[in-house]
Each structure stands twice: as structure tokens, then as C-alpha cells.
A and B are shown apart, each in its own frame.
Chain A
Amino acid sequence: MDTMMLQEKLVEKLLCPRTRTTRQKDKQYVGFATLPNQVHRKSVKKGFDFTLMVAGESGLGKSTLVNSLFLTDLYKDRKLLNAEERINQTVEITKHTVDIEEKGVKLKLTIVDTPGFGDAVNNNECWRPITDYIDQQFEQYFRDESGLNRKNILDNRVHCCLYFIPPFGHGLRPVDVEFMKALHEKVNIIPLISKADCLTPNEVKKLKDRVRDEIERFGIKVYQFPECDSDEEEEFKQMDKELKECTPFAVIGSNTVVEARGQRVRGRLYPWGIVEVENQSHCDFVKLRNMLIRSHMHDLKDVTCDVHYENYRAHCIQEMTSKLAQDNRTDSPLPLLPLPTPDVETERLIKMKDEEMCAIDFYIVIRTLVLFY
């Protein structure tokens, strides 16, 4: 940390006899180089939050992958439905939240799962509940942002959606294309090839090329890695380039630890060999984890805030202004959007804000009274 060392040097100089040359140097040092440090300390105290959505047909290894990524067991009490129950199942949205802490940094991780997606015989519009959920989160944030007390806004917006493509096909299926097209302008989509242990290296390459071609052909806007700055190291640029050429990632997940080459690793034991999840030559799990958590988590959040949310907000305001122009109403500057299904959480927040408004009114009345006397 260069800034820390600089600070220490400054303190040292303060305690030592100063000469003319050092005094000159001190004059040029303002001290705002310590800002990243301060931000760092404050964010560590506040903690981070991240909302990840997993979507795909059942049986593609979504829960196993989430457990492997975050080294937790989020789905311990899950009960799998049997075939008759599945016939009448509709798409649901379930949330699991877990607080993880590592080296003093706290992360509140929310996983949004979509059981029932793509499982029915007739999957027309099976993505509708998912798009509705994402829009609802945007709407809630929009209302909170326009509210009066903005200190404790809960950010439930979905930052990233991992879409699981089955490895059994020859590329994207119609349901994959429709889902991604419905969601690519609302959330960052990262397509993954799941259960990649049933593919030989040649097949993986062919499938990835095929999927990339079809994504381009259908005009699906998946999450793009940001370009490297020109002043980054060559090695970093090389790594970044490799990462981009590897998409979509072919991943394998595992809940079990096996013994391989004398070590205990996460993997899957077959009669013909052992697949190691964290071995880069076996699958792209490590690349996905590094990208999702270690290098691009913040960028995913930024793109959600700056691009997807702003799109939604602009669209909403446009709709409202055109509606206002139609109705010619000018009473409330606060946008009053009709919520589709206000849930308990939103009702509570609305009540809180109403009470605040009353309190502020009361305060204004008292102040005017004070002014009079």
C-alpha cells in the first residue's frame, strides 16, 4: 500500500527536524491519495451485498454449482418433487440469503432460484414470472430512491443471472433463445454450459463455438467483460483475452470431496477417472469463480445500476410523463406507480414513509410557530 507508506513517512517527517528541501516537498503533498484507503475501510465496515439468479431446467446442477462456488450448503433441506407433482408445477421464485465473511469482509449473498422453469410440457412464456420478479425489484428500488429516507435502501435488484445451457443439445434450443432475449435488457446474463463432464474436449469446443455463433445470430446481449485499460500489465491483458475466448464457460460442480493425486479436492468419482472441479484443464469452474467473485463482482453491480436500472427508470418516467400529459394532472411530484402485487415488505416501507411525512409536516408547523414568536 503506497499511500499507507506515504502517510507513515509524513508522520515521521513531522516528528523530525525539517530542512528546507523537505518543507518544499511537503508543500506539494495534499493528501487525497489516501481516499481509496478511506473508501476501503468504510466499505469493509458496511459490508457488501450481491444478488445472483440461477435459471435453467431442473437437473442441470444449478444448486450443486452454487454450493461449489460459495463453499456453502444452501440447499440442505431441499425436497425434490417427484414426477406427478411436477406435472402441475408452475414456475416459482425462491430466495435464499446467506451471510459469508472472509478476512473481515462481509458479504450478504442472495441466491434467487427458479424451480419449475422449462420443466413443463408446455413452456410458453415460462420466463414471465422471472421477468416480473426482476421488474418488481427495480420498481421497489425506484420507489425507495424517490422516497424521503434514503439511508437504508435495500438493494434487492438482481445483479447477475447465470443461465444453464444443457450440454446434451447441439447448441441453443428455442426455449434458451426466448428466455435470453426476454431478459438480456433487464439483467446481466452469463450463459454457462452445465454438466460439462459428459463432453470430450473436442465436443466442448464445438459446442462453445456453436453457442457463441447462435448468441450473435439471434442478437442476444450477454454480459460483456469490460475492456482492459491500456496501462495494465501484459500478463493481465493476456489473461483477460483468454477469459473472453473461453465463454460460455463449461462448468462442473460438486458437493463431495474426493481423494485425487494424494490430495483432497472437490470432485466427482467415476469408475473411469476422477473429475476435479478446480482443475483448469478439466473445466472452467475456476475461471467462472474468479470472474464472478474475484474480479468482476463490482462491475456486475455497476452495470446493473448504470445500465439496466437506468433503462428501466427512463422507460418508467417516460411512460409516466406521457400519462401525465394525457391526464393533465399536476398534484404530486412524487411518481406514484401502481404496484402489481404489493407484498408485506413494501407495505411496511410505505407505512414507514407515511409516518416520516407526518413527522416532517409536524416539524414544519413547529418551525413556523417558532418563527412567529
Chain B
Amino acid sequence: MADVGKTPVARNEKASSEFGYVGIDAILEQMRRKAMKQGFEFNIMVVGQSGLGKSTLTNTLFKSKVSRRSVMTTEEERIPKTIEIKSISHVIEEKGVRMKLTVIDTPGFGDQINNENCWQPIMKFINAQYEQYLQEEINIDRKKRISDSRVHCCIYFIPPTGHCLRPIDIEFMRHLSKVVNIVPVISKADTLTLEERDFFKQKIREDLRANEIDIYPQKEFDEDAEDRMINEKIRAMIPFAVVGSDQEYQVNGKRLLGRKTRWGTVEVENTTHCEFAYLRDLLIRTHMQNIKDITSSIYYEMYRVRRLNENNTKPNGQPAIHANGVPEHEVLSHEM
């Protein structure tokens, strides 16, 4: 045949009945069918002061009422005295693909007068999820598919002051960027004009660099040149300035999600108005699998290595690797 010297990829263009076609590419279809049957899991945590639009944004992202407030409508909008961690799961379906989405909310973060160490309960929760997965993994009788409750992504809401990051923002992101993917967003961005927005973003990026905070997408995890190119474009735009809304309005004959004020309507999905569409594409359409991979192969592995090393060097010589019940004080020792 004339194409002996061509690369194997060219074989796919021939019909399946042609001589020389093995059918390796059919594995993609098999994987796809299996994944559709199994469904996906995605755990997203939202952190920020009360009133920054966290619930509205999660509703807008997933186009359904998945936030805590939508589920518990009878609860008053009060500020709790200590930080609570509330997680709510939903199964949403689109074009035959099922996803179990868990939204973890943190009411009470940053709302008190004294907010010292307010990041600690959150860190504890994230480590507890890793611990739970680790215990399942080192079990002798393992389940066929371990249910993944690890936090894949943490969206941090920055209030649109327009000046720079606040001490509480820096403290939180510095501690948590070591255990989870952090995606900072500028919330309620309809209060900033375009110049103010650019200035604010620049200041935030400077502050993050000065404090050595690595947010998603991290430079060190870029796999190849193509990844790097795409991620550099994203890195030039973060943090995204978003506006959330779950109400539709009529604009130019179309029904769009937006916020209607006396001087105009802010369209949520219009990229000249706000950057919600970029955030949604990043989180869901293009980088969701990448986020999950980084969580399981990097952050989880870091946790696992640390834990197993600790167990190996225990002074009393107990083979703690097979222990299922971990004493309380060991869990606490991982809080940085």
C-alpha cells in the first residue's frame, strides 16, 4: 500500500473495512459509554463573606437551584456565630450525562469582628475528606468505586473594593492554596467600571505574586506547551470579575439572565459586561477534568505521603497503616 511510510494516525481516515485498521480508537467510544453510565462527581466549595453572591453564582453556574439557600428556604439569613460547613448534593443531568454535584458552603466565614484563624475549620474539613478517601483506599477489602468526597475546587469570593486584597484574603489563600485548587473571583463586579476592574485585577495579581500564592491554573502543573499556552491566557485574566443572576429579562428580543437596574441591564453571559462566561467555561466546559486530576494526583498524593510518613515514623512502632480508626489528635496534626 502506498501509505506504508505514513504515521499510524492516518489509518483512522480509512474505512473500518480497509486493510490495516486495528480499531484502537474505538476505545474512546467505550470509555465514553462507561463514563456516561457511571456518571461524574464534582465537589465545589464556595468561600466568602456573607452577601457576596455565592449562592446566586452557584445557581447561575449550574443553571439550577443547587445552592444551600435554595434548598433551605425557611432558614433566616442570619450570620452564624462560628463558621459552619454545609454540604448539599444534587444529581444533575444533561444530554445523557449524569453528574453528582456537591456544593460545600461555608457560612460565617469572615463575618465576625475577630476573624483570626477562620480558615482553620475549612482546612480541617478538606483534610478530613482526604483522610476519608485514604482510609477507603488502604482498606483490605476495597469498594469497586470509592465515592469521592474530596474538594476539587474552592471558589474564593473577593469583595469589589477596588483597592487591593485584604489581610483576611491573603491569609486564607496562603494557607489553602497548599491543599486545594483555589479559583479567586471578584464578586458583584457590576460595581466596578472597566478601568477600575483592570486596576483591581492588576493589584490582586501583584499581591498574589508577592505572597507566593499559587492559584489555579498553577504554573508548575502545566503538562506541555499547548497546556501552557491555554493556561497563560487564563492566567492573564484571573481573577474573573463575575456577576451572578437567576432572573431572566428581555433584552433586544431575547430572554437573558441579568440584573435590571434603572440605568441598564447587566447581562451575565455577555463577555463585554462581565466575565462569568469565562469562569463557567473554565470550571465546567474545559478544565473540569483537569481540576479533578490535579486534586487526586497532586494534592491528595501530597496528603497521603505525609500521612503515611507520619505513621511510619511513629515512636511506639504500631503498624498504623492498616488501622481504620484514626485517633482524633492525629487528624489535628495536619493543620498547617
Which residues of chain B (156-174) have a CB below 8 Å from chain A?
159-171
> Which stretch (A23-31, A78-86, A105-113, A340-348) binds chain B?
A78-86
> Which stretch (A38-46, A168-176, A310-318, A361-369) binds chain B?
A168-176
Cα separation A153 to B194 with both chains bound (whole Å): 48
> Which stretch (A265-273, A284-292, A294-302, A324-332) binds chain B?
A265-273
A195 at the interface (CB under 8 A from B): yes
B159: chain A residues at CB < 8 Å are 59, 166, 168
Complex contact A174–B50 (CB within 8 A): no
Given A124-B114, A197-B191, CB of A83 within 8 Å of CB of B261: no
Cα separation A243 to B79 with both chains bound (whole Å): 30
Cα separation A58 to B169 with both chains bound (whole Å): 14
Complex contact B115–A86 (CB within 8 A): no
Residue count of chain B within 8 Å CB distance of chain A: 49
Most buried by A among B50, B163, B187, B211: B163
B228 at the interface (CB under 8 A from A): no
Complex contact A121–B167 (CB within 8 A): yes
Given A83-B165, A83-B210, A198-B160, CB of A270 within 8 Å of CB of B113: no
Given A122-B116, A174-B79, A271-B272, CB of A282 within 8 Å of CB of B190: no
Which residues of chain B (140-186) have a CB below 8 Å from chain A?
159-171
Cα separation A281 to B244 with both chains bound (whole Å): 24
A83-97 interface mask toward B, CB cutoff 8 Å, 1 = contact, 0 = none?
A: 110110000000000
Complex contact A58–B210 (CB within 8 A): no
The one of B111, B164, B267 in contact with A173, judged by C-beta atoms closer than 8 angstroms, is: B111
A220 at the interface (CB under 8 A from B): no
Complex contact A282–B191 (CB within 8 A): no
Complex contact B114–A270 (CB within 8 A): no
A60 at the interface (CB under 8 A from B): yes
Complex contact B49–A168 (CB within 8 A): yes
The one of A81, A84, A170, A178 in contact with B77, judged by C-beta atoms closer than 8 angstroms, is: A170
Cα separation A123 to B52 with both chains bound (whole Å): 20
The one of A86, A123, A169, A200 in contact with B260, judged by C-beta atoms closer than 8 angstroms, is: A200
A274 at the interface (CB under 8 A from B): yes
Cα separation A200 to B265 with both chains bound (whole Å): 10
Complex contact A82–B206 (CB within 8 A): yes
The one of B50, B169, B265 in contact with A169, judged by C-beta atoms closer than 8 angstroms, is: B50
Cα separation A271 to B165 with both chains bound (whole Å): 25
Complex contact A273–B211 (CB within 8 A): no
A178: chain B residues at CB < 8 Å are 113
Complex contact A123–B264 (CB within 8 A): no
Which residues of chain A (109-128) have a CB below 8 Å from chain B?
119-124, 126
Most buried by A among B165, B187, B191, B273: B191
The one of B51, B113, B164, B171 in contact with A174, judged by C-beta atoms closer than 8 angstroms, is: B113
B193 at the interface (CB under 8 A from A): yes
Most buried by A among B111, B114, B203: B114
Complex contact B170–A83 (CB within 8 A): yes
B15-55 interface mask toward A, CB cutoff 8 Å, 1 = contact, 0 = none?
A: 00000000000000000000000000000000001111100
B211: chain A residues at CB < 8 Å are 83-84
B262 at the interface (CB under 8 A from A): yes
Cα separation A84 to B259 with both chains bound (whole Å): 35
CB distance from B196 to the nearest CB of A (A): 9
B246 at the interface (CB under 8 A from A): no
Cα separation A167 to B53 with both chains bound (whole Å): 11
A276 at the interface (CB under 8 A from B): yes
Cα separation A273 to B114 with both chains bound (whole Å): 39
The one of B51, B118, B169, B263 in contact with A170, judged by C-beta atoms closer than 8 angstroms, is: B51
The one of A87, A195, A200 in contact with B191, judged by C-beta atoms closer than 8 angstroms, is: A195
Which residues of chain B (203-225) have a CB below 8 Å from chain A?
203, 206-207, 210-211
CB nearest to A260 among chain B residues: B263
Given A83-B207, A197-B190, CB of A272 within 8 Å of CB of B266: yes
CB distance from A302 to the nearest CB of B (A): 33
CB distance from A212 to the nearest CB of B (A): 16
CB nearest to B76 among chain A residues: A170
Complex contact A198–B188 (CB within 8 A): yes
Complex contact B79–A86 (CB within 8 A): no
Which residues of chain B (253-287) have a CB below 8 Å from chain A?
259-267, 272-273
Complex contact B111–A83 (CB within 8 A): no
Given A121-B116, A198-B191, A270-B190, CB of A60 within 8 Å of CB of B161: yes
Given A272-B273, A282-B263, CB of A83 within 8 Å of CB of B188: no
CB distance from B88 to the nearest CB of A (A): 20
Cα separation A59 to B262 with both chains bound (whole Å): 24
Complex contact B114–A268 (CB within 8 A): no
CB nearest to B81 among chain A residues: A174
Given A86-B167, A87-B170, CB of A201 within 8 Å of CB of B114: no
A275 at the interface (CB under 8 A from B): yes
B112 at the interface (CB under 8 A from A): yes
A60: chain B residues at CB < 8 Å are 161
Complex contact B262–A282 (CB within 8 A): yes
CB distance from B153 to the nearest CB of A (A): 22
Complex contact A58–B161 (CB within 8 A): yes
A136-178 interface mask toward B, CB cutoff 8 Å, 1 = contact, 0 = none?
A: 0000000000000000000000000000001111110111001
Complex contact B114–A122 (CB within 8 A): yes
B165: chain A residues at CB < 8 Å are 83
B105-143 interface mask toward A, CB cutoff 8 Å, 1 = contact, 0 = none?
A: 000000111111010000000000000000000000000
Cα separation A275 to B191 with both chains bound (whole Å): 10
Cα separation A124 to B79 with both chains bound (whole Å): 17
Cα separation A336 to B79 with both chains bound (whole Å): 46
Cα separation A80 to B50 with both chains bound (whole Å): 26
B262: chain A residues at CB < 8 Å are 201, 281-282
Cα separation A281 to B164 with both chains bound (whole Å): 31
The 3 closest A-B pairs by CB, nearest first: A59-B161, A273-B264, A169-B51
A-B CB contact pairs (8 Å), 12 listed: A83-B207, A86-B166, A86-B167, A119-B166, A122-B114, A169-B51, A170-B50, A198-B160, A199-B261, A270-B264, A271-B272, A273-B263
A residues lining the B interface (CB < 8 Å): 57-60, 80-84, 86-87, 119-124, 126, 166-171, 173-175, 178, 195, 197-201, 268-276, 281-282
5 additional contacts (CB under 8 A) given A59-B161, A82-B164, A271-B272:
A123-B115, A169-B50, A200-B260, A270-B266, A273-B263
